Amino acid sequence: MPDSPSDTIPDPSTPQDKTAANALWGGRFAGGPAAIMQEINASIGFDQRMWRQDIAGSRAHAAMLAAKGIISDADLADITRGLDQVAAEIEAGSFVFDIAHEDIHMSVEARLIALVGDAGRRLHTARSRNDQVALDVRLWVRDAIDQIDVQVADVMRALVDQAERHHDLPMPGFTHLQIGQPVTFGHHMMAYVEMLGRDRSRFADARTRLNECPLGAAALAGTSFPIDRHMTARALGFDRPMANSLDAVSDRDYALEFLSAASTCAIHLSRLAEEIVIWMSAPWRFIRLSDAFTTGSSIMPQKRNPDAAELVRAKTGRVTGAFVALSMVMKGLPLTYGKDMQEDKEPLFDAADSLALSLAATAGMVRDMVPDPTNLRRWAGAGFATATDLADWLVRTLNLPFRTAHHVTGRLVAMAEAKGTDLEGLTLADMQSVEPRITREVFGVLSVESSVASRSCHGGTAPANVAAQAAAWRARLAA
């Protein structure tokens, strides 16, 4: 958004051509913009959602101008009163957003001038739309991070609830989507807690880096007015003002970081959504979701489709696409501001909306999810899932080298497969035909329950580990 001097903004109450009256370029241009130029140039259709941030920035700027004697206290009082009314009108839905005013900044300012006259015209002193929009987007992203952090924590609590309830419920653990070893349902839930915990830290890191204030950089070079940038930074909750005026108006790193963190988070939600889809399908039937998070078929009355999970999975493309889109906007821009940067907002807003909706849907599905203990236990032992336990027993008890134990176990699996049974179904004689030193003690490690209980190393799937990990995360989430 290009800068324009405050004294070129016409009084919207003065009768004149609407297009010319609101052209921000003032006396430099005799005619108004062509209709197509007005259409491509306007951002009010989407940036109006930043009205709270825009008004907050104007309040802080006006208070600083008055404190430094740049505007009078009477002007400040009028500006504050006017901004209060503008905020009330927008909140009530009575504010008219007009494409002729181009963006949220000029929409608010034009209405302010209509309400308070010259005091409103003085608000833009020592400010540009370049640092104004940089401030508004930065404030908006900060607010979005705070909201998403709450939502991510809510999904984590839902997962912890499931983990605590089912810390000892066996289920199959997969690699390559093939059954590998038994784990517990609670352990599986806690894996996503760890992922989302990292997502929260990424958002927090991004928030820390973005928390510098660009206001006061003006168009690109700063301002000759004796402003106090530290005062406005403090008023808006920033740690400090940005150190370089060129960087302040051209930086969109914080938006890219937010979208990067959002993309990773969306990918984690998509992985869980994919598992929910698989777990609900035949023949697994690991879990059930109620009608609240499923839909039926228009032709097949028996169907219960996991549409919420499928949509969470699909929305990941929108979030990651937003990151790519903004990367392409920024990749070749010289310093400082270019109108290209107006294209930062739609993908940013859409990604935040999509992630927020996906988080809400995921929290709901996780709380709604009911595991099927019978099917989980049955499949936990399928596919010779305790073969590694047998190999480990051969190493521990018979002192076989692991590679030798692996080979012996492989032969026993082949034998069981040929007999149409599992490892527990082999007789001691069967086993001794492959390795004569095997004793009856081996059968004590071949059950699913003994397998998961034995994985007691740090981070392992043993039920006691899962219960402790869930309790630790519950405490952290409550802090």
* Tokens of residue 329, six digits: 């906007």
256, containing H or E segment = helix 253-280
Residues that are catalytic: 176, 297
Residue 374 phi/psi, 5-degree rounding, is: -65, -50
Q: How far apart are CA 206 and CA 253, in angstroms?
A: 9
Of residues 434, 432, 413, 410, the one with CA closest to residue 423: 413
- Residues 6 or more apart from 317 whose CB is under 8 A from it? none
CB count within 10 Å of CB 470 equals 24
Q: Which of 143, 135, 336 minimizes the C-alpha distance to 258? A: 143
| Residue pair 304/271 in contact by the 8 Å Cβ criterion | no
The beta strand positions in 61-101, using DSSP E, are none
Q: 79, 124, 126, 77: which is closest to 105 by C-alpha?
A: 124
| List of residues 6+ apart from 102 with CB closer than 8 A | 22, 24, 38, 41, 42, 43, 44
Find the largest Cα–Cα distance for the chain: 104
Cα-to-chain-centroid distance, residue 408: 48
CA distances for 393 relative to 2, 132, 468, angstroms: 72, 68, 27
Which pair of tokens denotes residue 314?
């699909």
d(C-alpha 393, C-alpha 451), whole Å: 11
